[in-house]
Amino acid sequence: MKLTIVLFWISFTLLSYGQGCQTAEVKLQSGEYIPMYNDSSNKRIYVENFSMDATAVTNEQFLAFVKANPEWQKSKVKSIFAEASYLSHWENDTILGAQVDPRAPIVYVSWFAAKAYSKWCGRALPTVDQWEYAAQADKYNAAGNSDEFKNELLRLYEKKQHNHQTAVGKGEPNYWGIFDMHGLIWEWTIDFNSILISGESRKDGSLDRNLFCAGGSLGSVYPLNYDAFLRYAFRGSLKAKYCLKGLGFRTVNN
């Protein structure tokens, strides 16, 4: 039964890679998950073994990156790669300022910047599949599908505090040993715009035709997956240069 799950190989490794780019990462064993939307019914997606940061990338980690790569400092970044709000919570190019906890997750960061950071670390942004696979774990199961868990996720989303003051890794880790997948920030994925919600959720004839209104519940596998609706809708509203108060990232190693 579930006891066997406890015997799973979960390993924390303190890795050092890149210059000053370090994180605790967690290995996830390959497995399947049912994505929120696919046209045919219960098509499962197979996810290979991968490693994921146990916590979101923090302000101090990102600070090391912009010090090593000045072109990503907020006064120097090209506007096509990051909109004006990029790192707007920092005091200046290389100082966080008193309002920002170094251990809080980096936010106000564009997809381009998150991708550049990941590359600098020799890593990558997770795919939507990887992220959702990691995020479907509750405390005890690799795939938490109980109503209690789903309700808890809605609570967590509503209670998020985007105050730049809450450090990563404070809550309880999930089954894999990963922290803060739901309660702290939204996170970039490499293919955030591949499963689009264009804005018209009910009748789009393209990729996203199932994502809105009543159409959404027809196409989605579990009509009660309100938490997933919220995540996919949020991703769908993004453009790669957006820098938002509640949007950061973590990296993976494939």
Partner 1 sequence: MKKLNINSLTILPLLGGFFLLTLITGCNTSDQNVHWDSATAKIIGEIQHPTVLPPNVPPPVKPNRGALKQIINMEVVEKVGRLADGVEYDFWTFSGTVPGEFIRIAEGDEVEFHLKNHPDNKFAHNIDLHAVTGSGGGAASSFTAPGHESIFSFKALNPGLYVYHCATAPVGMHIANGMYGLILVEPKEGLPEVDREYYIMQGDFYTVGKYGERGQQSFSMEKAMEENPDYVVFNGSVGSLTGDNSLHAEVGETIRLYVGNGGPNLVSSFHAIGEIFDRVHVEGGDMINKNVQTTLIPAGGAAIIEFKVEVPGEVILVDHSIFRAFNKGALGKIEVSGDENKSIYSGKIDDRIYQIEGGAVQVMPEVEREPIIAGSLKEKISEGKIVYDNFCKACHQAGGKGFTGVYPPLANSSYFKGDVNKAISAVVNGLSGVITVNGTEYNSAMPAQVLSDEEVSNVITYILNEFDNDGGEVTPAQVKAQRK
Instruction: Give the DSSP per-residue string, 183-245.
Output: TT-EE--TTTTTS---S-TTT-SSTTTTSSHHHHHHHBS-TT-HHHHHHHHHHHT--TT---T
CB of 200 to partner 1, least distance (A): 4
Smallest Cα–Cα separation from 65: which of 248, 240, 244? 248
Q: Which of 204, 207, 221, 240: binder of partner 1 (CB under 8 A)? A: 204
Least distance (Å) from partner 1 to the CB of residue 23?
25
Residue 211 in the binding site for partner 1 (CB under 8 A): yes
Of 8 and 234, CB closest to partner 1: 234
The least CB distance from residue 42 to partner 1, in Å, is: 20
Assess contact for 111 and 240: CB atoms under 8 A: yes
One of 60, 198, 207, 253 touching partner 1 (CB under 8 A)? 198
Q: Which two tokens stand for residue 139?
A: 């405390």
Q: Which of residues 106-165 bind partner 1 (CB under 8 A)?
A: 147, 150-151, 154-155, 157-158, 160, 162
Buried b (16+ CB within 10 A) or exposed e, 88-113: ebbeebeebeeebbebbbbbbbbbbb
Cβ 175 vs Cβ 140: under 8 Å: yes
Member of 59, 118, 127, 201 binding partner 1 (CB under 8 A): 201
Q: Which residues contact 238 (CB under 8 A, 6 or more apart)?
A: 111, 192, 193, 247
Kindly identify the residues of this chain, within the stretch 56-85, that bind partner 1 according to CB under 8 A: 85
Q: What span, in angstroms and rounded, lies between the C-alpha atoms of 22 and 12?
A: 13
The 8-class DSSP code of residue 127 comes to P
Q: Is 245 in the site for partner 1 (CB under 8 A)?
A: yes
Q: Which of residues 33, 62, 188, 232 is near partner 1 by CB under 8 A?
A: 232
Per CB under 8 A, the list member of 87, 229, 251, 252 interacting with partner 1 is: 229
- Select from 135, 216, 250, 251 the one that contacts partner 1 (CB under 8 A): 216
In the complex, the residues that contact partner 1 under the rule CB under 8 A are: 85, 147, 150-151, 154-155, 157-158, 160, 162, 186, 197-204, 211-214, 216-217, 223-224, 226, 229-230, 232-234, 236-239, 242-246
